[in-house]
Structure 1
Amino acid sequence: MKTAQFARYGDEGVIEIVDAPIPRPGPAEVLLRVTASSVNSVDIAHRAGAMGLVTGRTFPQGLGVDAVGRIESVGTDVSGFAPGERVWAIRAGAAGMKKPTGLAAEFAIVDARRMAHAPESLDDTAAAALVVSGYTALRALRDALRLQPGGRVVIRGASGGVGSAAVSIAATMGGRVVGLASERNVEVVRALGAHEVFDYASTSPSEVGPADAVFDTVGTQLPAWQRTLRRGGRMATVALASPAALASVALSAAQGSRRIRAFVGEPPAGQLAALTAFVEAHDIRPLVHETITLDDIARAHRVFEGRGLAGKVVLTV
């Protein structure tokens, strides 16, 4: 089978498509015939070595943390899934990233607890664009921010993969959505359901005004955005790539309910099923920037890291 991997950390040029044996699932695992995957910020950090303290220096390491496809076979302890069923899945944890094959491959091993039946309302490309971004956004808005109908929620990075999903989901939840995006993507974000959209390059937090919730996917100026919160307001970030962001989250602990909450998008066992139900109940549609074949994954990484990204970069397998 074909799989994307790298033998050293670096830019997109280190990525190779290699032939590898089709893996066999363990007792609690599933072998998935992959039809689509996507590029996520964690893939970029992994490949570049930004996660080297946890992913180590044993190479090669496989790329891809999400996938959509059909079940090829199931382990002996797996229940609730059968060969031929269409599912979406997330690879969990740094331990999975150390392996030579990830989910950007023709076949992939996934933990059955990190998998759910994919929404029938989405084709494979759309599902791949939404699995990580949709779960992360839903968890942030529902669990971390506790968004209420009518609440004014500011979404930073509103045209990115996670941010664009958050705009649609927050609007569906009845939030008063305020998006921050590049000038070229202002109308794109408005079309997703945002009530107000600002150019992030020319708008300060004070100009955006008070908020009941702030969802950050950028990782900069966190204290300034925290100060826009109304009494009882809540803030969450999924962008912790810099020491400054980590320090801001740590120092915010003294702020009580207005502290900055931080989490990764990895779902607790069984929680992807909740995303499937939400997507089908509310007809959530993702924003797809471009679809690119697995063979051209290096270009997909380059597109992801470029300017003006609007939605997800999806890999077709």
Structure 2
Amino acid sequence: MKAIVYNKYGPPDVLKLTEVEKPIPQDNQVLVKIHATSLNYGNLVLLKGEPFLARFAFGLLKPKYSIPGGDIAGHVEAVGKGVTQFQPGNEVFGDLSGCGWGGFAEYVSVPENALALKPANLSFEEAAAVPMAGVTALQGLRDRGKIQSGQKVLINGASGGVGTFAVQIAKSFGGEVTGVCSTRNLDILRSIGADHAIDYTKEDFTKKTQSYDLILGINGYQPISAYKRLLRPNGNFVHVGGSGSQLFQAMVLGPWLSMMGGKKMSSFLQRSNQKDLIYIKELLETGKVKPVIDRCYTLNELPEAFKYFEEGHAQGKIIITV
């Protein structure tokens, strides 16, 4: 089979399309023929080995996983004898970040709990946009953010992969959602249901007088003290992504700031979870959430896709067709 392989950390050009052995599913595994995959920030960490602390999980001196790629959508080609949830022919989607990656390939063998049945109303490309970004948004809002109906929610970085899901999921919980984005993305936010949109190229949202019950920081460089000023009493700030200094503040200063005044400040790391993926699937099938896709590349165009992704201006998700 064809797969994207790399053996050293570096820029996108270290990724090479080559022939490798097609996997054989073990007793508890499902062999998936992959039709589409997508890019996430975790893919970039895996590619570059940065921040350096990530190498303790992904390989200190060279990549532990030779075939990167987390999100997949495809159909089941074969199952191991211990598999009970799927059968050949099923259309599935899933997140491989918790079971060895390997999504940038024509086939992959994975544990069945990494997958869920693909939403019937989505194409493979649309389904591949969902797993990591959708579950990140869900877990950040529901589990760490403790979102409640009627709350005012601010999402900084609302037009990217995680952000577009976060806006829609927050709306599904009954939140009043304000999204922060650039001028060219305002229409996207309105189209996915944001109640308010702030153009960061024209105004500094941290200087506004509006306060929020929950803030999801997906992108940005602002000090977390600026977010704390925007929180209502007992409000919650959840750092999902942003600058390295912001991440450091959230991890180191967040717990200390949380002990002062009742406002919670924390960082968050998504964990792949089949139950949460199925929850997202139901939102997709009922039309409460829809993937936003910027553009598609082929597997052999993956280096170009990464270069575009690194620019940080994607409107929703970048898809790779296999």
Q: 2:281 aligns with which of 254, 276, 279?
A: 276
Structure-1 residue corresponding to 2:135: 135
User: Residue deviations 1:144-165, cap 9 Å, x none?
Assistant: 2222222110001111000011
Superposed displacement of residue 294, structure 1: 0.9
Q: CA RMSD in A?
A: 2.0
Find the counterpart in structure 2 of residue 151 from structure 1: 151
Aligned partner of 1:238 in structure 2 is 240
CA contact (8 A) 2:155 2:163 kept: yes
8 Å CA contact 1:240–1:246 kept in 2: the answer is no
Distance 2:62 2:4 in 1: 16
Partner of 1:176: 176
Q: Within 1, Cα distance between the matches of 2:26 and 2:275?
A: 18
Match of 1:166 in 2: 166
Match of 1:26 in 2: 26
> Are positions 1:74 and 2:75 aligned together?
no
CA drift of 1:261 comes to 3.1
- Structure 1 residues 48-67: aligned runs within 5 Å: 48-50=48-50, 51-56=54-59, 57-58=61-62, 61-67=66-72
**Quick one: distance in 2 between partners of 1:4 and 1:89?**
18
Which has the higher mean CA deviation after the structures are superposed, 170-179 or 32-41? Answer: 170-179
Determine the C-alpha separation between the residues in 2 that align with 1:151 and 1:86: 37
| Structure 1 range deviating more: 115-124 or 32-41 | 115-124
- The answer on whether the counterparts of 2:116 and 2:274 sit within 8 Å (CA) in structure 1 is no
Distance (Å, rounded) in 2 between the aligned partners of 1:105 and 1:27:
21
Counterpart of 1:281, as a letter, is T
1:182–1:308 contact (8 Å) kept in structure 2:
no
Cross-structure match for 2:315: 310
Give unpaired runs (5+ residues) of structure 1: none
| 1:229-285 per-position Cα deviation (integer Å, ceiling 9, x unaligned) | 111211212227625413323322131563223332222353322221222234421
Q: Please give the alpha-carbon distance, in whole angstroms, between the structure 2 residues aligned to 1:217 and 1:208.
A: 21
Q: Classify 1:132/1:228 alpha carbon distance in 2 versus 1 (closer, same or farther; 3 Å).
A: same
Residue correspondence of structure 1 range 68-217 to structure 2 within 5 A: 68-93=73-98, 96-97=100-101, 102-201=102-201, 202-207=203-208, 209-217=210-218
> What residue identity is the alignment partner of 1:29?
Q
1:185 touches 1:308 (CA, 8 Å); kept in 2? no
Gaps in structure 2 of 5+ consecutive residues: none
| Aligned match for 1:229, one of 228, 231, 235 | 231
- Give 1:228 shift: 1.1
Aligned to 2:219: 218
Cα distance in 2 for residues equivalent to 1:169 and 1:185: 18
Aligned equivalents of 2:115 and 2:149: distance in 1?
A: 30
Letter in 2 for 1:174: G
For 2:269 and 2:254, the matched residues in 1 are separated by 18
Cα-to-partner distance string for 1:137-182 (whole Å, 9 max, x where unaligned): 1222222222222211000111100001111221232211110111
Q: Distance in 2 between matches of 1:12 and 1:45?
A: 12
Shift of the alpha carbon at 1:77? Answer: 2.1
CA distance in 2, matches of 1:238, 1:310: 18
Measure, in 2, the Cα distance between the counterparts of 1:271 and 1:192: 21
State the shift of 1:44 in Å.
1.0
TM-score norm. by structure 2 comes to 0.90
Q: Distance in 1 between matches of 2:313 and 2:87?
A: 41
- Secondary structure at the residue paired with 1:209? coil
